Amino acid sequence: MTLILLIVAAVATLALTAGYAVSRALPPASKADLAAQLEPIDIAAFRNLIDPAEDEYLRRHLSAGQFRVTQRARLKARAAYVRVARKNAVVLIRMGQTALAASEAGANDARANNDIREAALRLVNDAALLQQNAGFALVRIYADMAWPNRSTATVGILDRYQRVSDSAMLLGRLRNPGVAVRVTAG
């Protein structure tokens, strides 16, 4: 069983690496096109799904069979949130790359371009790490679906997502102060 999980993890890593390489090779898209591809995440609902106290409450108040059914449904919802976070990370990487290209091309205000370049690099790095971590989290979630009595925490994904969201908002404010970039709902 451990060998199977290692193989799945290796394949997931290769797929993530290939996806990242492909995303870097794609031509830059416009800000509007990229922003339209973002799907906001309801952070409060996601936080509820990953709360270990909620899992423990359900474990205490449901029969073992009911808990397994409920936990699998919660894990499916958790996986859906992680997939959206991963998809948004790919879009945010492209946004950061577009901002980097624009900051290198523009020579009007060197200080503003430097701030944009730093914010764009931070966004690209944070989003790439989120994309990689989300892939690993999905593997763990699918393993948890097979054994719903155990549950691995995906709190790190939420924390990383909020950090990427902050990076995206900073870059958006620097590039266009009048338009907000939203990757969270509510």
What pLDDT digit, counting tens, does each position of 43-64 carry? 889 988 888 888 889 999 999 8
Instruction: Find the distance separating the first CA and the last CA of the chain, reported in whole Å.
Output: 41
Whole-model pTM?
Answer: 0.73
Asked whether the beta carbons of 35 and 80 are under 8 A apart, the reply is no
Using alpha carbons, select from 163, 160, 154 the residue that is nearest to residue 79: 154
CA distance 151 to 75: 9
Exposed / middle / buried, residue 180 (Cβ in 10 Å: 0-12, 13-18, 19+): exposed
What Cα–Cα distance (Å) separates residue 56 from each residue in 53, 60, 100? 5, 6, 45
Tens of pLDDT, residues 108-165? 666 767 888 888 899 999 999 999 989 988 988 888 888 766 666 676 788 888 888 8
Q: How many CA atoms lie within 13 A of 35 on its CB side?
A: 13
